[in-house]
């Protein structure tokens, strides 16, 4: 997983991993969630990937738009 840069230092996200049709997100409590095109929709996955790469807004986006749209909780 790649470290989330968290430009504003205000995020609960600490790391992420982009795949072809998914993003895995690790939060500060150690939990890891898998979000997929199937569970969240391609538009939402692509937006999360862009936010993850930019290092800003990923946690807020998840909270505001698709908190429960994960495929599975991995940890």
| CA dihedral of 54, 58, 64, 66, whole degrees rounded to 10 | 110
Q: Give CA–CA dist 62/39, Å, rounded.
A: 13
Q: Give CA–CA dist 47/50, Å, rounded.
A: 5
**14, 3 in Cβ contact below 8 A?**
yes
Q: What is the pTM of this model?
A: 0.94
Q: pLDDT tens for residues 12-71?
A: 999 999 999 999 999 999 999 999 999 999 999 999 999 999 999 999 999 998 779 999
Length of the chain in terms of residues written: 75
Please give the pLDDT value at position 65: 85
Please give the pLDDT value at position 66: 75
């Amino acid at each position: 997983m790649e470290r989330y840069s968290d430009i504003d230092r205000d995020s609960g996200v600490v790391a992420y991993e982009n795949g072809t049709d998914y993003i895995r997100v690790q939060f500060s409590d150690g939990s890891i969630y898998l979000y997929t095109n199937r569970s969240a929709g391609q538009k939402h996955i692509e937006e999360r990937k862009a936010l993850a790469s930019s290092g800003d807004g990923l946690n807020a986006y998840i909270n505001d738009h698709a908190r429960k749209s994960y495929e599975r909780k991995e940890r």
